[in-house]
Homo-oligomer: A and B are copies of this chain.
Amino acid sequence: MADELKLFRTWSSRYGLRAVHALKIKGIDYETVFEDLKNKSAALLEYNPIHKKVPVLLHNGKPICESLVILEYIDEVWKHSPLLPQDPYEKSMARFRAKFGDEKVMPSIWSVFVSQGKEQEEAIPQAVANLKFLEEQLKGKKHFGGETIGYLDIALGWMANLISLLEEIIDLKLVDAEKFPLLSAWMNNFSDDPVIKECWPPRDKMIEKFKAMHAQYLKQAA
């Protein structure tokens, strides 16, 4: 019997896209269940009672939650086209940097996005410092994972899509090709990879969504 594999996600979730990218890279068939976070399905609440969040990967009736945990699961169950490095030290570095991406890079870029004037000026240096750290990791490499897209590329994949959207909305360039030649090139390479590219949510819908969020934040701050 074929595996039952369902991915619960929203159309725009960057965490959900991690699972999508991993499954696509490995060429694994699955069914998508699109969730509306304003009206969560009974299934989502059953499978992720703790966080009630997407993504959830349901494999033969067993739910796996948390996007980075899902990535490791996919990589362990379907061992071809490995995503994580095989060397334990390199593997630990990939895990460390993925966590850094979520806990430091993402909030620091968000702080720039939702602020204005002096507050925004003060938020920029931290975002730049975090991006510089990632720039360093790309020295001599096309992808964070080396020659091919790996776990860390997928974990940081939101950057390749989201940063340019946010930059467009606030009309401020954070990752320019002069200051961040490697990161800029990686964002383009990753974003335009044939397997990755087909999974991005529609750019116009994303712009609309984040423009609305941006307006909401500024209104609250005013």
Contacts and interface: CB of A to CB of B under 8 A. Distances in A.
- 8 closest Cβ pairs, A-B complex: A76-B88, A73-B92, A69-B95, A64-B92, A77-B88, A69-B92, A69-B96, A62-B89
Given A59-B89, A77-B88, A96 B133 contact: no
Interface in A51-98: 59, 62, 64-66, 69-70, 72-73, 76-77, 88-89, 91-92, 95-96
A70 B91 CA distance: 11
What does DSSP make chain A's interface, helix, strand, loop or mixed? helix
Given A50-B104, A66-B95, A69-B96, 18 more contacts: A50-B100, A50-B133, A59-B89, A62-B89, A64-B89, A64-B96, A65-B96, A66-B96, A66-B99, A69-B92, A69-B95, A70-B92, A72-B92, A73-B88, A73-B89, A73-B92, A76-B88, A76-B91
A171 to B, nearest CB: 30
Nearest to A70: B92
A121 to B, nearest CB: 23
Interface of A: 50, 59, 62, 64-66, 69-70, 72-73, 76-77, 88-89, 91-92, 95-96, 99-100, 104, 133
Given A88-B77, A92-B64, A99 B69 contact: yes
Nearest to A59: B89
Contacts of A100: 50
Contacts of A92: 64, 69-70, 72-73
A72 B89 contact: no
A88 B95 CA distance: 17
Nearest to A78: B88
Nearest to A97: B50
27 contacts: A50-B100, A50-B104, A50-B133, A59-B89, A62-B89, A64-B89, A64-B92, A64-B96, A65-B96, A66-B95, A66-B96, A66-B99, A69-B92, A69-B95, A69-B96, A69-B99, A70-B92, A72-B91, A72-B92, A72-B95, A73-B88, A73-B89, A73-B91, A73-B92, A76-B88, A76-B91, A77-B88
